[in-house]
A and B are shown apart, each in its own frame.
Chain A
Amino acid sequence: MSAGSVALEGVTKRYGAETVVAGVSLAIAPGEFFTLLGPSGSGKTTTLSMLAGFVMADEGRVMLGGQDMTHVPPRGRGLGMVFQNYAIFPHLNVAENVAFPLTVKRAPKAEIAARVAEALEMVKLTGFEQRYARQLSGGQQQRVALARAIVAHPRIVLMDEPLGALDKNLRYHMQVEIKEISRRLGTTVIYVTHDQEEALTMSDRIAIMERGRIAQMGPPREVYEKPDSSFVAAFLGEANLLPARRDGNAVAGPGGARLEAGAGALSAPEGLLFIRPEKVTIAPDAPGEGPNMLPGRVRHASFLGNVVRYAVEVPEGATVLCDAANGAGATLHAPGDPVRLSWRAEDSRLLAA
């Protein structure tokens, strides 16, 4: 069953002298929830536009459902789409909007009615058929856009920052709902966002884009815990990136501390030691030497409720962020307290600077 598969093969797009997408290749399995994540200008929206057919690739091939669609216009690609601004037709009501992909195909009236009802039920908008976009809230408009994208039962649905305009609570709610619907229908979803949390929650796999290229691609946990570059490490949430030198099999960190790092891909003698704040253990300073221990002094403690975030000054003026769970019997450290930081070698990686 390759109907829902998607592949890009060395796809490139240039605007004048500027290369917006530079040889992107990826393969997405049917039913996969795949996210293109990146800052603005990283080429993620252009990549999506090439999948949709709004932008034609200068080089490379776009394969949809196993067929070469590189030069096929959007209307021939049979994709479902959710647009950033929803693109709800203001002159049509909810039912007519949702029916649009079916009416342009001249589907039989009875089938249209049944499918529209089904799609509206799925997004919980039954009863809103006669409303117009201006009579709907942002969340409801989003649902209309979603219903319209799935009404024709496409194998592949593209979503361009669909939740960008919603407030945080609604956003979380819609994330769950989109995920559920896509799973229920078995649709392949290609999702574009600049919100790393959204990408981590929703995706089966994430491709992090940087300046027109895929910096890293993998399941959320893998890209979060094992970034291949400092860009990916810093883009996907908080990251400590400490200056470090390779020293035989070990790593010399701030103040010459002997550290061990997980299998990182660093050939150069110098780089950055990556460690997530929540993987750092903070303890009162006590005598003792060992690998992956750094003495320091608490500079700042932010009480966030379930978590306390410490900024700890370590030798050579570097600062390490450390998230300590405010669990049962947790001791809080005050600014100025001497502390000892430690972490497991496999939670850290030595990355190129």
Chain B
Amino acid sequence: MPLKIRAALLLLLPSLLLLFALFLLPIGWFLSSSIMELGSWEEVMAEADAVLLSGAVGGALLNTGWVGAVVTLLTLVIGYPVSYALSRARGAAFTVILLCIVLPYFTSTIVRTYAWMVLLGRNGLINQILLGLGLVSEPVNLLYNRTGVIIGMTYVLLPYMVLTLYAAMKAVDPRLMQAAEGMGASPATVFRRVFMPLTLHGVVAGVLITFILAIGFFITPALMGGPGDVMIAMLIEREVELTQNWPAAAMMTVVLLAVTLTLYAVYSRFAEPGEAMR
């Protein structure tokens, strides 16, 4: 159906142009000027070796992967029941849950991150409650360390997980679950044998999109993390802004982009409902 494809392309044209002008063009220019700065191909390879095998970059990559994995797991564990509640809720309950999830979206990440800093600080609300209840004898360090980064990022990324899971859960025909119940399955069995397998593609999609977003995170780890919690995006920013070593920044960008695109390729395979089972 060539006409259909042409129509689709026409509709996509504005966003494709925008993407080209604001993303592909600058990144292409950034990468090529970095390579030009180095001169020969040998020098590019030498620089790549030096940058990518340096302890700082390797550590940041490990950090990024680890934090991304933990955050993704947490959003899944917290998000799955929330999404389930959302997919089953009707009327006012549905609106309330949805607003609770989506409203924070309307606030900028930086504002939300500062809000968490108020809560998590040494004299923050959470420490005051813990101290007041006598659960701890001195303030717990929740900020400027990995715990802070993970709490902040989990919070910011939760809606992506919830909404992805919700889409998958909403697509499950409730009559299938009723049928399973009628055939003698207990609620636990209905969940394990019917609901979970039918939402699995949503879990895979949610995990991938959350992880992709997590590994590119910058503001939250920069504000809430400690000196040891350098993530790859922060390192790139540092190379560009502080040391002005663009070739090094370009190398790391390529790595981050490659990981992201690979994961995205996997994600697009699972994003379509039912695709995972084909």
A78 CB to closest chain B CB, in angstroms?
Answer: 7
Bound-complex Cα distance A87 to B277 (A): 17
- Whether B183 contacts A81 by the Cβ 8 Å rule is yes
Interface majority SS (helix, strand, loop, mixed), chain A: loop
Interface majority SS (helix, strand, loop, mixed), chain B: helix
- Whether B197 contacts A81 by the Cβ 8 Å rule is no
From 175 to 189 in chain B, residues with beta carbon under 8 angstroms from any chain A beta carbon are 175-176, 178-186, 189
Bound-complex Cα distance A95 to B158 (A): 39
Q: At the interface, yes or no: B193 with Cβ under 8 Å from chain A?
A: yes
- Whether A105 contacts B194 by the Cβ 8 Å rule is no
A283 CB to closest chain B CB, in angstroms?
Answer: 55
B141 CB to closest chain A CB, in angstroms?
Answer: 45
- Whether A54 contacts B178 by the Cβ 8 Å rule is yes
Q: How large is the interface on B (under 10, 10 to 19, 20 to 34, 35 or more residues)?
A: 10 to 19
**B186 proximity list for chain A (CB < 8 A):** 75, 104
**Which residue in A73, A75, A91, A148 is a CB contact (below 8 Å) of B277?**
A91
Hey, what's the 0/1 contact readout for A141-152 against B, CB within 8 Å counting as 1? 000000010001
Q: At the interface, yes or no: B198 with Cβ under 8 Å from chain A?
A: yes
| A-B CB pair tally, cutoff 8 Å | 58
**Which residue in A52, A91, A103 is a CB contact (below 8 Å) of B182?**
A52
A50 CB to closest chain B CB, in angstroms?
Answer: 13
**Which residue in A75, A87, A91, A100 is a CB contact (below 8 Å) of B198?**
A91
Q: At the interface, yes or no: B26 with Cβ under 8 Å from chain A?
A: no
From 270 to 329 in chain A, residues with beta carbon under 8 angstroms from any chain B beta carbon are none
- Whether B189 contacts A104 by the Cβ 8 Å rule is yes
Bound-complex Cα distance A78 to B182 (A): 8
Q: At the interface, yes or no: A85 with Cβ under 8 Å from chain B?
A: yes
Hey, what's the 0/1 contact readout for A96-128 against B, CB within 8 Å counting as 1? 000011011100000000000000000000000
Q: At the interface, yes or no: B274 with Cβ under 8 Å from chain A?
A: yes
Bound-complex Cα distance A159 to B173 (A): 19
Hey, what's the 0/1 contact readout for B39-70 against A, CB within 8 Å counting as 1? 00000000000000000000000000000000
Q: At the interface, yes or no: A243 with Cβ under 8 Å from chain B?
A: no
- Whether A89 contacts B181 by the Cβ 8 Å rule is no
- Whether B184 contacts A75 by the Cβ 8 Å rule is yes
Identify the A interface with B (CB < 8 A): 52-54, 73-75, 78-79, 81, 83, 85, 87, 89-91, 100-101, 103-105, 148, 152
Report 30 cross-chain contacts, Cβ distance below 8 Å, ordered by A residue: A52-B182, A53-B182, A54-B178, A73-B181, A74-B178, A74-B181, A75-B181, A75-B184, A75-B185, A79-B182, A81-B183, A83-B175, A87-B175, A87-B179, A89-B176, A90-B198, A90-B274, A91-B197, A91-B198, A100-B180, A100-B193, A101-B183, A103-B193, A104-B183, A104-B185, A104-B186, A104-B189, A104-B193, A105-B184, A148-B183
